[in-house]
Structure 1
Amino acid sequence: MTTPTDQLLSFFAEDVPAGDITTVALIPDKVVSARIEAREEMILAGVEECIWLFEHFGVSVMAEAEDGEQVAAGTKILALAGSVHAILAIERTALNLLGRMSGIATATAVAQEFAAQVNDHVRVAGTRKTAPGLRYFDKKAIRIGGGDPHRDSLSDAFLIKDTHRALLPVADAVRRAKEFSLYRKVECEVENLIDAVAAAEAGADVLMFDNMTPSAVHGAIAALAARGLRKRLVLEVSGGITPETLHLWAGIDVDRISMGALTHSVRCADVSLEIE
């Protein structure tokens, strides 16, 4: 089984398959000091991974900030001391991961804070819309930013989607999932009031209102409440929700707002490495 440290080494190997020819050609190897710093305000994520990478290749690291910390532009994150060849070889791998993870954590924190201002029990959640190979790190960044990572993989929980419902009725799908295992939650994606009620009455634990309008979601929740089903359900909305449209959903009585945009449209935070 591939571990996160195996992945970190594969990222490095991709960037340095046969050595850093520019640094080796230009600079004799020697011990130098360097720093990694933030160039903008951000929630840090990926610091732990950067420390592991540098230390694995013999570079001494002193952490000046840690994952989950909000830092301002100019904040020193890591102080480095060691082989200039090692530091410059690792530089881009470390900065890419730190920038991506911090960008995800920052976007998650902003979305979670906004949603919580109008709904004190809602969590912003991620999705499986991540780049292959980066899911562990993307999901970790969401957790650091205060969001719900949702499923890590298809093996974690049942999620009955439209592609499943195209092949059998929603109530049958829920019942089959619950018969398959009593130990895993059953979530069902629904696109209208009728399917929402059918899935809930069949025993679904979580309903995901997918690609529905806010007014349609309000109507479905009212119908569930009228049947005494709302309180035992976790309710989620999804479908094209972005930071720009989050305000349309934040005030609805749901428990989760899933946003693929947190990971499929990442804006990397600006970080840099400077030789001292």
Structure 2
Amino acid sequence: MSGTSRAELESLLYDDVPNGDLTTEGLGLARIAGKMTFTARDEMVLAEVESAAALLEMAGCHVSLDVQSGNRIAAGQTILTAQGKGGSLFAASKVAQTLIETWSGVATAARAIVDAAQEASPRIIVGCTRKHVPGTKSFAVRAVRAGGATMHRLGLSETVLVFAQHRAFLHDEPLSALVERLRRAAPEQKLIIEVTSLDEARAAREAGFDVIQIDKLKPEAVAQIVSAIGAGTPRPMISATGGINVGNAGAYAKTGVDMLVTSAPYFGRPCDVKVDIRPA
């Protein structure tokens, strides 16, 4: 089942075909029965195939979908087939294709980082930031999850994360006072703070933060912080962020952090899907 709302799908379809398909209608193909096949040109981890199928159905096609988001498929494998009148097939084909290509690219990139990290540390979690293209959150979240990662933050309304920029407004207020204020303001939320040094990490642990997020330090420095603050109980969760990608995820995973936080999947190469449309 697609997680995309009908309103979102209608908006995508209307954006591409607001006043009919001039080419298909001009050639008299709109009422001729046809068949369409989507085939993977690359090995990929699929995302948004259910949304693409729902969009094609909305346009008037009958869709057969044998794979699902999260599946890893080989080049040459069929993703979906659709039957319908030419007007329906041509109207929805490009939007459906682009949905799969774009978000499968994100899912494939996320899966590569998860695999690299878990090869080094099997229990580590990879979380993706909210640095997706604005307006595409629902698609981004599903693609990240299809790739085996989780969301680091869905938005400002459901997480508490203190940055240095926040502290700049607070005139060196002790971290323990910040924790006390935030516990009252959001009593059911875990409190996260971003740090950039061992001294900051020690102070954050002493103040009682639940999660210590280490930003833009080399793996060696991250490992030193984990060693220094990771012993004893209660142990804060420790995450690493800043420039993490498939090439260095393994090195960061070996530091002993619990979670890697990355934006890299959003900037990965889209996958390539071949679309073939023929008369039935």
Q: Please name the residue that 1:24 is paired with.
A: 25
Where in structure 1 do 4 or more consecutive aligned residues deviate above 6 Å?
Answer: none
TM-score, structure 2 as length reference:
0.91
Question: Displacement, 1:162?
Answer: 2.2
TM-score, structure 1 as length reference:
0.92
Deviations 1:60-92, CA, capped at 9 Å, x for gaps? 001122211111111111110012112111111
1:175 maps onto 2:144 in alignment: no
* Aligned partner letter, 2:258: D
1:198 maps onto 2:203 in alignment: yes
Structure 1: distance between partners of 2:12 and 2:164: 35
Q: Secondary structure at the match of 1:232?
A: coil
Deviations 1:215-244, CA, capped at 9 Å, x for gaps? 221222222135x25x53221100111222
Q: Please name the residue that 1:155 is paired with.
A: 157
Q: CA RMSD in A?
A: 1.7
Structure 2: runs of 5+ lacking an equivalent? none
* Aligned partner letter, 1:72: A
Structure 1: distance between partners of 2:101 and 2:48: 8
Q: Please name the residue that 1:144 is paired with.
A: 146
Structure 1: distance between partners of 2:164 and 2:88: 49
% identity of equivalent residues: 34
Deviations 1:31-78, CA, capped at 9 Å, x for gaps? 211111111111111111011111112210011222111111111111
CA contact (8 A) 1:170 1:199 kept: no
1:67 maps onto 2:69 in alignment: yes
Q: Please name the residue that 1:134 is paired with.
A: 136
Task: Pick which of 142-151 and 243-252 moved more.
Answer: 243-252
Question: Displacement, 1:170?
Answer: 6.4
Deviations 1:230-265, CA, capped at 9 Å, x for gaps? x532211001112223233121101111111111x1
Of 240, 255, 268 in structure 1, the residue corresponding to residue 258 of structure 2 is: 255
CA spacing shift, 1:50–1:170, aligned 2, 3 Å: farther
Structure 1: distance between partners of 2:85 and 2:164: 54
Question: Displacement, 1:17?
Answer: 2.4
CA spacing shift, 1:20–1:266, aligned 2, 3 Å: farther
